[in-house]
Amino acid sequence: MDTLQRLVRYNGWANSRVFELCAGLDREELTRPAPGSLGTLAETLQHLVGVEDGYLTMLRGQDYQAAFGSREAYMQQELAWFLQRPAQLADDYADLVQHENDHTLRREIRMPWFARPVSALDGYLQVISHSAHHRAQALSVLGARGLPVPDLDYILMLFDR
């Protein structure tokens, strides 16, 4: 359990570094085409946040549509909202994982966009690996554009506390 709590904490820390960097960019930088990402940096970051919100809802045992309405409606939030949302998500995941145990991690969750359920543990692991994938895309795009990008090594999070 401690390992999962550390991974969740790292995911929140890494997201905060990337989203703080992106929040300081102008809108044009975020919305121009970004090869190697989901179209633009904004779309990539919005997707990352949307998936984290979706899994959080399912891990809490809530209904996605009741919480957010349609995916299209959720994605209509302002870009500034998406850039701020990871801070709350990090806190929410850190709180939620504190209440998990071997038994609760085996429960099934069902994402509306997948036909098959997954275990809660696999849900957490998907969030962590999915977010890492899209952070890497964002940082690769920014680095290719000549912008300085943060080092996201786990050990740096430990020293950052």
Convert the pLDDT of each residue in 20-52 to its tens digit: 999 999 999 999 999 989 899 999 999 999 999
CATH topology for 2-160 is: Four Helix Bundle (Hemerythrin (Met), subunit A) (1.20.120)
Question: What distances in angstroms separate CA 76 from CA 21, 27, 71, 81, 145, one per listed residue?
Answer: 22, 16, 9, 10, 27
Q: Which residues contact 89 (CB under 8 A, 6 or more apart)?
A: 12, 15, 49, 52, 53, 56
From start to end of the chain, where are the E strands?
A: 33-34, 39-40, 108-109, 118-119
58 forms beta bridges with none
* pLDDT higher at 63 or 28: 28
Mean pLDDT of 53-65: 92
Comparison of pLDDT for 46 and 75, the residue scoring more: 46
Q: What is the pLDDT of residue 126?
A: 97
- Could you tell me the pTM of the whole model? 0.93
Half-sphere exposure of 13 (CA within 13 A, CB side): 18
In the chain, domain spans: 2-160
- Cβ neighbour number for residue 32 with a 10 Å cutoff: 13
